Structure 1
C-alpha cells in the first residue's frame, strides 16, 4: 500500500491487492480519532480544491427479499435505486443466505436515505449497516435531530398551528407512504475479531485507508 499526502486533508492510496482495495472501499465506516473518514473511488477529474465529495459507501440490507430477485443483474439494479451499486455480498451473489440481500452502495449524502423501494406491487424495506450518523427527522447522513436544519427555524412573533391529516390512505394505494425514519433502519455489523484488553489497551484499533487510486476527505 502506498499513501500520498495531498492538500486539504486528502490522501491518495494505491493498493497492490484488489481484495485490500475492496476492503478499504466497502469495509467502513472508518473512524479515526472521532473523525469520520470519507472513502471513495478515484476519478481522473478529482481536484482537492473542488467541493468535498459528499458520498459514502455503505452496506445495505433488503430483509426478506423474494428469492426470485436473487440474480446478479437484478440485485445491481436494486442497489442503483438506492445509490450506485459497488459490489454484492458473496453470500447474496451465490444465494447462500435468504434472510436478506446485502449490497454495497455508494450513497449521496446530499439526499435523504430511502427506507423502502417499490417491487412488484409491494414495499421492500431497506436497512443500513454501520452508518455514523442518521437524522431520523429528515433522513440525511451526517447529523442528528438535535442539529437538523429542518428543525432549526428563526423565532416567530406568534405561535403557529399545524394541522395534520391522519386519515389512513386507501387500501391498494400505490402512493409511497411517509418515510417513517427511525432506529429500525440501522443495523450494526458484528465483528468477528476479538480484541485484547489490558491495563494500557482499551481494545480499540483504528485504521486509516482509502482506495486504489482514490482521494478521500
Structure 2
C-alpha cells in the first residue's frame, strides 16, 4: 500500500454553514464534536505485541490482539472512495472532494491501489455528512463512498453497493406522494432520499430519488405498478450489460451468452428469428420488450444536484 500521497484539507465556513449550524468555531463545538488526530494515528508496539519465527521455512510475524485492535481503531472515521468507471488522479480528486464536501475540519486523502482512495476524517460530523448527502458525481461518474471495513479488498474492480440517482419517467401523478414513491423505490433498492422538488410536487416530469443498489445483482429495469409497467432509469451509470443487467461489463463479453452450440440452440435461434419482428420495439411503444437496454441509462442528466461536479 502506497500511502505517500496524503494531504490535509480544510474547508472555509460558508454562509449556508453559518445559517444551518453545520459548522462552528472550535471553541463552540469542541465539546459537541468528536475529533480525532489524523496527523499522528500511529502507536507504540510493546514487546509482547510481536511474535516472530518461521513456518514451513517462511518467516512470519504475528501481532497481538492489542496491536490489531489499535490498528483497526485508527481507521475510525475512514471512508473508501473510488470514481466509478473513470480514472482520476490524486490531485484532481483532492481538489474535487474539497469543493463538493467542504469539510469543516481537516481530512486526509490516501492513495491506495486499483484507483481506490482512503479518506480519513478528524470530525465525525463531516464523516457522517458525506455519507448522507450523496450521491456524489465527478465528471459525470459516481464517486463511490463507503465506510472502511476490515474485509475491504482493493483488488475488486468496484464496490458491491453504491448510492445512485434513479428516475421513474411517466409515473402517474396519483403516485406523486412521498410514501408511495418511497415504496416504489424500495423495490429497486433501499431508498435513501427523495429529490426535494419531487417531494414537494414541483417536478412533474419524473420521480427522482437516491437509492442504494447492489452492483453484483441485475439492475431493476421495470416495475409493475397496479398492472402498469413502469420503466426505471439510472443516472451516471456506465458499463452496464444489457444482456444480464449487471454492472461492470458489456453484452459482447457477458458470460451468459457463452453456450455450446447444440441442435436445440440452433432450433431456438430459428424460433427467435421468426418471432423477432413481433419483439421489435417501435418508437410508439411506451415500454420496451427486452429486459435490459440503453433506455435504462439517462443520457442527458439535467436537474442533478449542484454538489455533483
Q: One fold, TM greater than 0.5?
A: yes
1:3 aligns with 108
Of 109, 119, 135, the residue aligned with 1:26 is: 135
The worse-fitting range, judged by mean Cα deviation, of 177-186 and 102-111 is 177-186
Task: Give the Å deviation of 1:68.
Answer: 2.1
The worse-fitting range, judged by mean Cα deviation, of 70-79 and 12-21 is 12-21
Q: How does 1:50-65 map to 2 (within 5 A)?
A: 53-65=159-171
Bigger Cα Rg: 2
Structure (1/2) with the larger helix percentage: 2
Task: Give the Å deviation of 1:65.
Answer: 0.9
Unaligned runs of 5+ in 2: 1-102, 279-287
TM-score by length of structure 2 reads 0.48
CA RMSD of aligned residues (A): 3.8
1:183 aligns with 294
Aligned residues: 181
TM-score by length of structure 1 reads 0.66
CA displacement, residues 60-119 of structure 1 (integer Å, 9 cap, x when unaligned)? 110111122222222222111011112111111111011110111111111111221011
Task: Give the Å deviation of 1:159.
Answer: 9.1
Distance 1:90 1:106 in 2: 18
Unaligned runs of 5+ in 1: 169-176, 193-205, 208-217
Relative to structure 1, the CA distance from residue 159 to residue 10 in structure 2 (aligned partners, 3 Å threshold; closer, same or farther) is: same
Of 48, 55, 66, the residue aligned with 2:152 is: 48
The answer to whether the 8 A contact 1:38-1:55 is kept is no
Distance 1:140 1:181 in 2: 10
Of 103, 106, 110, the residue aligned with 2:209 is: 103
Larger relative contact order (Cα-Cα within 8 Å, sequence gap ≥ 6) = 1
Distance 1:159 1:41 in 2: 46
The answer to whether the 8 A contact 1:72-1:93 is kept is yes
Relative to structure 1, the CA distance from residue 150 to residue 135 in structure 2 (aligned partners, 3 Å threshold; closer, same or farther) is: same
Distance 2:147 2:194 in 1: 20
